[in-house]
């Protein structure tokens, strides 16, 4: 009886959607990663050019040169390492590794005084280079830049173990970037060593750009599969993570440009910080609540509908039947069920293919639903079995069945593979359980099938893509 028509199910459909989604996310992420990383490199190169080529006029903001030559050099090298890691060629991996190791060497040299204004090299006369700002990298920036260089090494030579270590390190670097950024905003001198060798806002901007470029590159490589999955968690992450990451940056930038925090007391800064945190968390929770609510609506709709035809499924029919039975009781009317079973669907699948069987199911579902009036429930019970439930007596149900037969007949005149079905009508009072009503309609449907004779579908050799019904 039950045909095995090929159809998507709730378990396979999401999995099938993942590759396409992952490819789309990969393309967009790769483009944004290159764009963001290139922005960091350009900002750093501008500083280097300004230091090496004194033009007499500055084409950079006045405070930009708070970024020392060494910091700019590290940012440029790290940006190059990020771009090299995006390339598949093995040679580029070695180039990216060399750039990251070069950054580590610069950071170590600056931290231990081998290079910088206080190093022995500072006493050597180097012509124009003597005027270059070779201030040592501030300690917070040195720690962050060194950590990012290690992260690049882990990413370039990726493995499952190193991937996990890289994820932990990335979270720590994100925390460090936020600390440096907000320390600059709130003038927290003890955190950023305010002064000539401070971690300026411009250094912070470059660090954030580098981390964003690296994170986008991981998405392009599909190393964070949860974000690219079609699951509820994946959709929530795609919609919420950008908001969560960008809001603190936007708040810090706005505060830095509009407010002079040096006139506030520590208590005032803490008050504002706590208030901002509370507002951000509240907005985030509202955002997540909206996402969850929309996903619940989609899940409810999918749970109540048949994946192939879009009709109500057996479970949804039971829920809707309770409301229909209650309404029939109040009106003092009978309830009728028409039980449909498509003839020879398995033979159609075997002779013309499963796609043809699926098309037959969808066509019949559309015709049946089209003839159902307001208040009449059309459902697919499973396989090749369908039903219409309504508040009606037997004669009214027979009129609905006649409309369906006429619609199917009109459809068959324009298709090579006609639809044939058997049907049974059962009518009862509203006090009878739905299962009993459907069982009786099913029994009468079998009687109709037997009276009409066993139907067989055979391939029409005159037209390989068609089939015909024989008795």
Helical residues (DSSP H) of 311-393, grouped into ranges: 314-331, 345-352, 354-371
Q: How far apart are CA 305 and CA 327, in angstroms?
A: 22
Q: Residue 168: which pLDDT band, with cuts at 50, 70 and 90?
A: confident
Tell me the percentage of the chain whose pLDDT exceeds 70: 67
Residue 394 vs residues 194, 303, 398, 438: alpha-carbon distances, Å? 88, 31, 6, 14
Q: How far apart are CA 86 and CA 222, in angstroms?
A: 12
* 1 pLDDT more than 60: no
Residue 188 vs residues 94, 253, 277: alpha-carbon distances, Å? 39, 16, 18
Q: Is the pTM of this model over 0.75?
A: no
pLDDT for 185: 67
* 49 pLDDT more than 70: yes
Average pLDDT of 409-436? 90
**Mean of pLDDT over the chain:** 75
Query: For 60-103, how does the pLDDT look when each residue is reduced to its tens digit (9 = 90+)?
Result: 555 555 677 888 889 999 999 999 888 878 888 899 899 999 99
* 9 pLDDT more than 50: no
Q: Which domains does the chain have, with CATH numbers?
A: 13-229 (no CATH), 231-304 (no CATH), 314-470 (3.30.70.270)
Average pLDDT of 225-250? 70
CA angle 413, 423, 319 (to 5 degrees): 115
* 129 pLDDT more than 70: no
Q: Residue 183: which pLDDT band, with cuts at 50, 70 and 90?
A: confident
* Helix, strand or coil, per DSSP, at residue 212: helix
Q: Which token pair is 307?
A: 């994946």
Quote the crossing angle between the two packed helices 139-156 and 69-85, to the nearest 10°.
Answer: 20
Query: For 335-381, how does the pLDDT look when each residue is reduced to its tens digit (9 = 90+)?
Result: 999 999 998 888 887 778 888 888 899 999 999 988 888 888 999 99
Q: How far apart are CA 207 and CA 17, in angstroms?
A: 35
């Amino acid at each position: 009886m039950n045909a095995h028509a090929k159809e998507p199910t709730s378990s396979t459909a999401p999995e099938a959607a993942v590759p396409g989604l992952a490819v789309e996310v990969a393309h967009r992420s790769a483009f944004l990663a290159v764009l963001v990383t290139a922005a960091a490199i350009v900002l750093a190169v501008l500083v280097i050019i300004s230091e090496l080529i004194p033009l007499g006029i500055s084409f950079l903001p006045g405070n930009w040169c708070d970024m020392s030559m060494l910091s700019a050099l590290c940012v440029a090298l790290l940006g190059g390492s990020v771009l090299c890691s995006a390339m598949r060629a093995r040679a580029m991996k070695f180039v990216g590794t060399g750039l990251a190791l070069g950054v580590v060497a610069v950071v170590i040299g600056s931290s231990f005084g081998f290079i910088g204004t206080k190093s022995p090299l500072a006493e050597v006369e180097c012509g124009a280079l003597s005027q270059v700002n070779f201030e040592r990298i501030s300690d917070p920036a040195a720690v962050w830049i060194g950590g990012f260089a290690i992260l690049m090494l882990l990413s370039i030579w990726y493995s499952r173990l190193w991937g996990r270590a890289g994820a932990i390190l990335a979270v720590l670097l994100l925390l460090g970037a936020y600390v440096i950024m907000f320390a600059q905003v709130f003038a927290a001198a003890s955190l950023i060593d305010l002064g000539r060798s401070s971690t300026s806002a411009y250094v912070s901007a470059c660090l954030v750009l580098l981390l964003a470029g690296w994170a986008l590159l991981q998405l392009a490589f599909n190393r964070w599969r949860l974000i690219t999955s079609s699951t509820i968690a994946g959709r929530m992450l795609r919609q919420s993570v950008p908001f969560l990451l960008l809001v603190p940056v936007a708040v810090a930038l706005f505060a830095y440009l509009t407010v002079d925090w040096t006139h506030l007391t520590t208590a005032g800064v803490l008050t504002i910080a706590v208030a901002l945190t509370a507002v951000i968390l509240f907005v985030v929770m509202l955002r997540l609540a909206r996402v969850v609510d929309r996903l619940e609506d989609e899940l409810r709709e999918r749970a109540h509908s048949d994946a192939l035809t879009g009709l109500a499924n057996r479970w949804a029919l039971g829920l809707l039947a309770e409301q229909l039975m209650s309404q029939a009781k109040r009106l003092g009317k009978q309830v009728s069920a028409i039980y449909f079973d498509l003839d020879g669907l398995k033979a159609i699948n075997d002779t013309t293919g499963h796609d043809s069987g699926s098309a037959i199911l969808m066509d019949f579902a559309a015709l049946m639903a089209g003839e159902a009036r307001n208040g009449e429930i059309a459902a697919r019970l499973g396989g090749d079995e369908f039903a219409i439930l309504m508040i009606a007596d037997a004669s009214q149900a027979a009129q609905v069945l006649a409309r369906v037969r006429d619609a199917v007949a009109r459809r068959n005149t324009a298709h090579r593979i006609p639809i044939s079905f058997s049907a049974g009508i059962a009518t009862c009072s509203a006090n009878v359980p739905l299962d009993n009503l459907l069982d009786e309609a099913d029994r009468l449907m079998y009687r109709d099938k037997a009276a009409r004779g066993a139907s067989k579908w055979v391939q029409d050799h005159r037209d390989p893509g068609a089939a015909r019904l024989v008795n």
